[in-house]
Structure 1
């Protein structure tokens, strides 16, 4: 038996860059097997093709420059913390473009895509795994830089880097707000952040990847000589647009135009645009829905988006608010817990929100059920929980829960009804049902945030 040490990224950069794998926090352990990081290296399959090679080497160079105190040379392109295919592809596309479009200039840009999700959460989105595998990326996502692989806390790294580019999100997360916003691309509502960013593109399209790819193509075609655009990246772009637009069935004119431009450059150029996008959408949607093997904790964290929200309260100037989106009913989720009972759902939820330090959590559930006539109807649920052990005391938690509850129940467009087991819920817990089909996070989050921003206690 030998004693081995497991290190952080900062402590073993040489191992990190050789393996491109995540490592555990520092701790002394007794082990009879080789170091887990080295073992992981042997089991991973290295990707093939220019895009995988570039992504892996780019990650390596970023970590080398960080170790040599050259973080100021880098731009970090980041999407939202949900890490869906659109957000991931947008970030990867723009980082690749920034790096290659300036490589022959007097001021080459160093840019890297950051996925703001932990490595072990990436496979909670099977559609991402399928799309990356089709693009010949390395197994275990070792080509990609994820949040848990950052060698420095974002709050301090934000001040060191050249700046950030935000894609598929209207504002930077609080931990990145000390970084200059260089560019923005989003298909959501403009929140006014990054007014000096260039380009700054807010436009209603099905996929943010459409906006990023359009800007990339326009700039690429204006270069004296085009750089190499790997087919693997082109196919990843088409996949992101396909899944967000339902194979172009729910696309805007811009989604269709950009998809056509990308297709003509890809290895699928001989295919019919609508046939190819429809096939991609079908396969990716099937993968996306393959979630029955996931437990409740993974369902809560697979599409978690949260940040600090400012309040007028002098006692509690910020509150941590997080949202999860789950394609199962509350009853189905309860059955996924160890004991299959209501209390266990809230125990699992509490353990997860304690880990991420959330004061308020909102789970947005959606599912289909048959009505009295046997027709399927879309039903949505809103689950609200408020904690007392992070930033707020019990009286404040009661007040905040009441404030947010009233805001949800007062919204006439939702017309919520209390869940059939609402009387069994505990303190600062509530579940509502409603039938507004489009009321996902984009609708519910502003309602809850506005209530928190007005709360003063």
Structure 2
């Protein structure tokens, strides 16, 4: 946990908060204050309505599970990458469902589920910083994480009232038995949950924008508005800010701006300028997000991991486990992070991690910047590895590797070039370098289509 505290104290000593009235705390001041919230190794209980609600909801859910009342619960879940957008959207909608129906004849019990294990949450320092700012309990004890579910999702999904997907177009295979009640996503519609309501797919920088807009629209139509804690409002602003680069990047839309302005008016920063607040939040969260040098290779692979089972037409291997990692370091820089600082050690650590989570085929998407002729250039790498010890034998693994290899090579828009050490790679291993803007949203469908057609 040291890196977060180092970051926060660095901000405290290097930046000076603007002089503003105590009733209008500056985002910077709040973020800096979070550095002293807890003592290392000792959990500090969160303060404020949002933390208390989250902790009480988690307890109630577990009590009801013990009493076999799972059918009363709606689980709001984001994607397994667990970024700030996915986490915030889930928390916001779960809070809204509970509070908007509490005085009706059909109150809804809802809880946000973070589809990452608890020990992986701090691999995203920006999440920790934002949660500390929202006065949540240290150690994330207020939040329900995947490893805290008292029952396997395959089983639990049959018992609960249903699921709501946020920042996620379709449920993971382990949740396929659950009824999809609503979907909010800013990616491509994958056809899941055709009867879900609301069912919103819209291009915005942040999925939290879509959820917050719907939340405020419904809130303002209620006979009497429920209490909206400022900690949640500021968490929402944080999620939108980091995904939109403070409302300035090309992905930012009019809806991101309008919704942020509506949220800001209800927050403790209401009298501040929207542009200033969002820029300030983005600066601090982005600085935190980059504070990853302390992470080893295994943690880098799992900090932004997305994977699922994929059906194939093969009668011998009808299901394949496929996973994607996103790593903000070059392959060469990752190798230096291994114990022996050698290529073989990268693949040994990678193999141990993928064996632990039973993955057959994995793709690591690396991105970094290099300087050429005085200008920064964005470089990406694709690392393809197929295993033969989980569900498939060597011959099948060889065949699957060739299929995915050719699918990527044949996508000319990527402009793939073999990595400079590709000649040293082992069996069913390949690393490419490219300079296109294609990230996981582009690469994943190419790989999934190839796997689903493999026979």
**Fold in common (TM above 0.5):** yes
- Does 2:89 correspond to 1:119? no
What is the aligned partner in structure 2 of residue 388 from structure 1? Answer: 388
- 1:404-443 aligned at under 5 Å gives the runs 404-437=404-437, 439-443=438-442
- Does 2:179 correspond to 1:183? no
- C-alpha distance in structure 1 between counterparts of 2:108 and 2:371, whole Å: 55
- 1:262-281 aligned at under 5 Å gives the runs 262-281=263-282
- 1:146-161 aligned at under 5 Å gives the runs 146-161=145-160
What is the aligned partner in structure 2 of residue 323 from structure 1? Answer: 324
What is the aligned partner in structure 1 of residue 397 from structure 2? Answer: 397
Secondary structure of residue in 2 paired with 1:117: coil
Secondary structure of residue in 1 paired with 2:45: coil
What is the aligned partner in structure 2 of residue 363 from structure 1? Answer: 364
The alignment's C-alpha RMSD in Å is 1.1
- C-alpha distance in structure 2 between counterparts of 1:454 and 1:56, whole Å: 45
What is the aligned partner in structure 1 of residue 95 from structure 2? Answer: 96
- C-alpha distance in structure 1 between counterparts of 2:200 and 2:356, whole Å: 35
- C-alpha distance in structure 2 between counterparts of 1:320 and 1:277, whole Å: 39
- C-alpha distance in structure 1 between counterparts of 2:261 and 2:375, whole Å: 37
Secondary structure of residue in 1 paired with 2:158: helix
Which protein has greater RCO, CA pairs closer than 8 Å, 6+ apart?
A: 2
Structure 2 unmatched runs, 5+: 1-38
- 1:40-79 aligned at under 5 Å gives the runs 43-79=42-78
- Provide, for residues 416-450 of structure 1, a one-character-per-residue CA deviation record: whole Å limited to 9, x for no partner: 0000000000000000000012x110010011001
- C-alpha distance in structure 2 between counterparts of 1:221 and 1:118, whole Å: 35
- 1:123-138 aligned at under 5 Å gives the runs 123-138=122-137
Measure how far apart 1:41 and its partner are: 13
What is the aligned partner in structure 2 of residue 255 from structure 1? Answer: 256
- 1:186-205 aligned at under 5 Å gives the runs 186-205=185-204
- Provide, for residues 70-98 of structure 1, a one-character-per-residue CA deviation record: whole Å limited to 9, x for no partner: 00000000000000000000000000000
- Provide, for residues 378-410 of structure 1, a one-character-per-residue CA deviation record: whole Å limited to 9, x for no partner: 100000000001111000000000000001111
- How many residue pairs get aligned? The number is 415
What is the aligned partner in structure 1 of residue 80 from structure 2? Answer: 81
- Provide, for residues 250-289 of structure 1, a one-character-per-residue CA deviation record: whole Å limited to 9, x for no partner: 2100000000000000000011000100000010000000
- C-alpha distance in structure 1 between counterparts of 2:55 and 2:301, whole Å: 30
Measure how far apart 1:42 and its partner are: 8.8
Secondary structure of residue in 2 paired with 1:43: coil
Structure 1 unmatched runs, 5+: 1-39
What is the aligned partner in structure 2 of residue 14 from structure 1? Answer: none
Secondary structure of residue in 1 paired with 2:365: strand
Secondary structure of residue in 1 paired with 2:413: coil
What is the aligned partner in structure 1 of residue 228 from structure 2? Answer: 229
- C-alpha distance in structure 2 between counterparts of 1:210 and 1:377, whole Å: 30
Measure how far apart 1:375 and its partner are: 1.9
- C-alpha distance in structure 1 between counterparts of 2:120 and 2:402, whole Å: 33
What is the aligned partner in structure 2 of residue 288 from structure 1? Answer: 289
Measure how far apart 1:412 and its partner are: 1.1
